[in-house]
Amino acid sequence: MTASRPVALSKSIEPAGPSAASGMHRSQLTGCHWNNVKSVLRDVRLRPTRQRTALAWILFGMGDRHITAEMLYEEATKAKVPVSLATVYNTLHQFTDVGLLRQVAVDGSKTYFDTNVSPHHHFFVEGENELLDIADTDMVVGKTPVAPEGYEIARIDVVVRLRRKPR
């Protein structure tokens, strides 16, 4: 369930996250619940603080997501999680450093973070700033180039730019 139609992901998500840092309901988790969030954080050596835990919950609590710092900040705020934008940025980078997130480079000025860290590519809807996963079975890179002397390939990113069909 990676590829889908271009819907505003951010809007389709009701911030049913944790109310503050204690409300431990579990609506539509992807297999991990509240306590797991904390243990995951401990596993990567990040202290499970109130905001970190809450942000992790929002990020990983419901399927794959593509999110910007600003979006995450708004969601956290709506979910009544007190957190500052600076902390959101810090947290996103910390999560990226430990491999929980992946930074996606599209062309906009904004940086997107993808909760799906397994190899896959993206659709990008121009104008709408909408990112969508492409199922890896739908996109196959046939021939890959040889890395220049002294370098090795770290990753291959494919962005399929979409445009709204005329008429």
Partner DNA sequence: TTACGTGCAAATAATTTGCAGTCCC
Partner DNA sequence: GGGACTGCAAATTATTTGCACGTAA
Interface ranges with DNA (CB under 7 A): 42, 45-52, 68-70, 82-87, 89-91, 93, 109-111
How far apart CA 61 and CA 32 sit, in angstroms, is 7
Interface pattern 100-139 for a copy of itself (x via CB under 8 A): ---x-xxx-x-x-----------x-xx-----x-xx--xx
The listed partner (a copy of itself, DNA, none) that binds 160, CB under 5 to 8 Å by sort, is a copy of itself
Q: Mention every residue, 6+ apart, whose C-beta is less than 8 A from residue 89.
A: 69
Interface segment toward a copy of itself; rule CB under 8 A; list 8-16, 22-30, 51-59, 157-165: 157-165
Residue 144 CB, shortest distance to DNA, in Å, is 28
Task: Give the Å distances, CA to CA, from 129 to 6, 38, 45, 70.
Answer: 10, 32, 33, 13
Q: Mention every residue, 6+ apart, whose C-beta is less than 8 A from residue 119.
A: 136
The listed partner (DNA, a copy of itself, none) that binds 135, CB under 5 to 8 Å by sort, is a copy of itself
Closest CA to 98 of 55, 36, 44: 44
How far apart CA 25 and CA 151 sit, in angstroms, is 48
Q: Which positions lie near a copy of itself, rule CB under 8 A?
A: 3-6, 103, 105-107, 109, 111, 123, 125-126, 132, 134-135, 138-165
